[in-house]
Structure 1
Amino acid sequence: MSLFAGQAPRPLADRMRPAHLHEVVGQDHLLGPEGPLGRMVAAGALSSLILWGPPGTGKTTIARLLAEVSDLHFEAISAIQSGVVELRKIFEAARRRREGGQGTLLFCDEIHRFNRAQQDAFLPVVEDGTVTLVGATTENPSFELNGALLSRCRVLVLRALDEAALGALVARAEAALGAPLRLTDEARAALLSLAGGDGRYLLNLVEQVATLPGEEVLDPAGLGRVLQRRMATHDKAGDGHYDLLSAFHKSLRGSDVQAALYYAARMMVGGEAPEVVFRRLLCAASEDVGTADPQAMVQVISAWDAYERVGWPEAKLFMAQAITYVATAPKSNAAYMGFTRALAAAERSAHLPPPLSVLNAPTKMMKELGYHAGYQYDHDAPEAYAGQDFLPEALRAEIFFTPNERGFEREIRKRLDYWAGLKARRGG
């Protein structure tokens, strides 16, 4: 290390790294006395771990401090910059260290970026205890890590820092800086909101505010002028994409229009393609509204078409209208479930022919065989309903579609009951 390395300027986030596990904020569910890491440390029995959580929640810091309290040599690598050759060198050094009586905690950042073959390289050294692996990932381990590695590690979920944890970080930073930030209470709240649960990013913002010249106390508008706005976190190819889509669809299904509008806004602010939102909206209009309000699909398709014709930002009007319509529409999955039951019946009864009466008879031979015999043209019957059987005989007792009493399905139910009554009176 250079003689002057200690004099080089360091970012506030680096200077503020906790020196002890109890200084880590926002992860008490893991580090508290009853948390899994708290119990491991107390028992002196640290196992290999996968730390899964959003950026800036303390994954690297926790790994480093775990090594200290467990008296393990700390070795850190990044999956972005390392390959199997580097891993082999680290494993060999860990073996030599182990022979000398010291264990190794190997911290692997972005471990999900290793391919399956590279992940397999960890298996023997984790299995025999050559290293205690602590992998960090922002992606769902069950999708990104192979099963063999997961079976040898415990997955722990870190949470995005809440307002209390972020507030504690700011207070700690102000103490280290020796002066409070020149912010109104409203601007301070806006600063915490800008961080988006990321402690490292928050400390970077604090440093920018603390180094501003002058004595002006900033309100939210002033804070917005001096800070670059943080882009919304939304990985369009990762878990965030599917999590927000899931929350959006379930909000629509649950008739929570406030949440549906919010999650759609989250996706749009995060740069999601509008067709992704409309596609999910259209699915909900059919799957969850269905025939309780057949206009729901029409509304969504019309809004989607208008969106493409006009474009953003005016087109947000059409998206909002479609979302509020679907979210507040009466709900029924009767059509969807009816077709699901019909598909299952079709799988097991594909050998059954339709009744001969409903089949056309374009040739003399087919007529002689009874094709089309007894068919009744419904428009010639009273109420335009002849009450014929169209299902194969073995399936005539099956009921696939059962409308409920919500919305337009109430009218559909009345019609079905009416036709059933006509059929019964006519001896069908």
Structure 2
Amino acid sequence: MANLFEAAGMDADAPRPLADRLRPASLADIAGQDHLVGLDGIVTRMLESGSLGSLIFWGPPGTGKTTLARLLAKETDLHFEQISAIFSGVADLKAVFAAARQRRQTGEGTLLFVDEIHRFNRAQLDSFLPVMEDGTITLVGATTENPSFELNAALLSRAHVLTFRSLDQQALDKLLGRAEVETGKPLPLDDDARASLIRMADGDGRAVLTLAEDVWRASRSGENFSAEALQEVVQRRAPIYDKGQDGHYNLISALHKAVRGSDADAALYYLARMFDAGEDPLYIARRVVRMAVEDIGLADPQALGITIAARDAFQFLGSPEGELAIAQAVIYLAVAPKSNGAYVAFKAASRTAKQHGSLMPPKHILNAPTNLMKDEGYGKGYAYDHDTPEGFSGQDYFPDELGRQTFYDPPDRGFEREIRKRLDWFAKRRQ
């Protein structure tokens, strides 16, 4: 092992980073995740039941995802294996699965922790399914991205998603207190500087401990930093607002309402504030996509494509260059014709589906692959629309017991004017 350190130019006895030294040794030591590991937390209940299924940990960096995975392996007597989706390929996965199968033959289970699991492609994610189903591994995947968007449905159906929260001010201050005990010296900061350092960490426990180390390294004997001096020392500005608290929701709400109100300038102002505060651009991009389908809808069918393209452009260009693509999409949405017709229609259809979800579709639109089903009237009387002169048969497709319903009522704006004409034409032919 010594040769390994020497080859890398490292001292085998080099001090460990503070964040590593303070890594929690028990579930009770994990800060800021009481909803998971507190007395009534879901993880606590799982462990009490003696059953731990595959899990997906979703949350910001530095909130304890890796630590909790390690502790779960310890609590359940499973062998802990860790890989990163960034550095692992198909060959690595096959080797990990093979080793897990060998352990299983000796009676030892494996908890496989996959960091950045959303980086795997669909085929790689599918390779986990058989070893999850037969119990070869207990998968714990960690991601900073929304699993609903980034992971496939087959994997999600076999795993329980647990959401990690950004650490609040109290949790971060508690970590700093533990760091002071560990090092045996107080942080050389006045009250305002300490509060500023906590804001700089932005809910990231690892970041707050790294910043604390930077402060101790930079301080001289008897020196105490103010908030202004702290910024010079660590070369980092405190965020304008706390992304986990009210400022985060206030600004995204203001951006959404400015777009809905067709005020491109105000929308750009709030967008710029969010970028300046260090908000995750992909979070903003997702919300902009939501605006396209909720507030513009079919009044301008191009709006959704433009917002998706803006998201893709940001992922391709990165920050700050890719921010312009999101800004361009925001301008487009703000000046586009507005309609929530599709949004309202889908909500109305959802309510009706919940109330009448057991009704059978009319038999004439059901396929009849067997003679018995043909005898029962399946498919009888169905008119193939393409065989009609106008490509429209006018048949009723609602369940017989429900009768015809109207959910979508497009306003006379933008492209929905054309949709309204088509719907009126269909209604006349249907009558």
Q: Same fold (TM over 0.5)?
A: yes
Of structures 1 and 2, the larger Rg is shown by 1
Matches within 5 A, 1:159-174: 159-174=165-180
Matches within 5 A, 1:327-366: 337-339=411-413, 342-349=417-424
Distance change in 2, residues 1:231/1:89 (3 Å): farther
Aligned-CA RMSD value = 3.5
Counterpart of 1:380 in structure 2 is none
Does 1:65 pair with 2:71?
Answer: yes
2:327 is aligned, of 274, 277, 282, to 277
Instruction: Supply the distance in 1 between the matched residues of 2:164 and 2:186 (Cα, whole angstroms).
Output: 29
Aligned residues of 2:187 and 2:215 also touching (Cα < 8 A): yes
Distance change in 2, residues 1:166/1:251 (3 Å): farther
How far is the alpha carbon of 1:133 from its aligned partner? 0.2
Aligned residues of 1:107 and 1:136 also touching (Cα < 8 A): yes
Aligned residues of 2:211 and 2:234 also touching (Cα < 8 A): yes
- Residue deviations 1:102-152, cap 9 Å, x none? 111000001111111111110000011110000001111112111111111
1:19 is aligned, of 4, 17, 25, to 25
Quick one: which amino acid aligns to residue 125 of structure 1? V
- Residue deviations 1:4-43, cap 9 Å, x none? 9873211111111000011011111111222211111111
Counterpart of 2:44 in structure 1 is 38
Aligned residues of 2:180 and 2:187 also touching (Cα < 8 A): yes
Instruction: Supply the distance in 1 between the matched residues of 2:189 and 2:338 (Cα, whole angstroms).
Output: 47
Counterpart of 1:203 in structure 2 is 209
Distance change in 2, residues 1:264/1:338 (3 Å): farther
How far is the alpha carbon of 1:342 from its aligned partner? 3.1
Does 1:265 pair with 2:265?
Answer: no
Number of equivalences: 301
Distance change in 2, residues 1:112/1:279 (3 Å): closer
How far is the alpha carbon of 1:341 from its aligned partner? 5.7
How far is the alpha carbon of 1:263 from its aligned partner? 4.9
Instruction: Supply the distance in 2 between the matched residues of 1:288 and 1:114 (Cα, whole angstroms).
Output: 37
State the TM-score, normalizing by the size of structure 1. Answer: 0.63
- Residue deviations 1:270-327, cap 9 Å, x none? 44635633642553355569xxxxxxxxxxxxxxxxxxxxxxxxxxxxxxxxxxxxxx
Residue aligned with 1:108, SS: strand
Aligned residues of 1:248 and 1:260 also touching (Cα < 8 A): no
Quick one: which amino acid aligns to residue 219 of structure 1? S
Instruction: Supply the distance in 2 between the matched residues of 1:229 and 1:85 (Cα, whole angstroms).
Output: 41
How far is the alpha carbon of 1:261 from its aligned partner? 5.2
Quick one: which amino acid aligns to residue 229 of structure 1? R
How far is the alpha carbon of 1:100 from its aligned partner? 1.2
Aligned residues of 2:251 and 2:274 also touching (Cα < 8 A): no
Counterpart of 1:85 in structure 2 is 91
Distance change in 2, residues 1:187/1:125 (3 Å): same
How far is the alpha carbon of 1:260 from its aligned partner? 8.7
Distance change in 2, residues 1:227/1:259 (3 Å): farther
How far is the alpha carbon of 1:253 from its aligned partner? 6.4
- Residue deviations 1:203-249, cap 9 Å, x none? 1000111222412110011101110216979xxxxxxxxx9996453
Distance change in 2, residues 1:259/1:196 (3 Å): farther
State the TM-score, normalizing by the size of structure 2. Answer: 0.62
Does 1:224 pair with 2:231?
Answer: yes
Structure 2 unaligned spans of 5+: 6-10, 241-248, 279-319, 340-409
Aligned residues of 2:168 and 2:203 also touching (Cα < 8 A): yes
Distance change in 2, residues 1:34/1:213 (3 Å): closer
Aligned residues of 1:247 and 1:263 also touching (Cα < 8 A): no
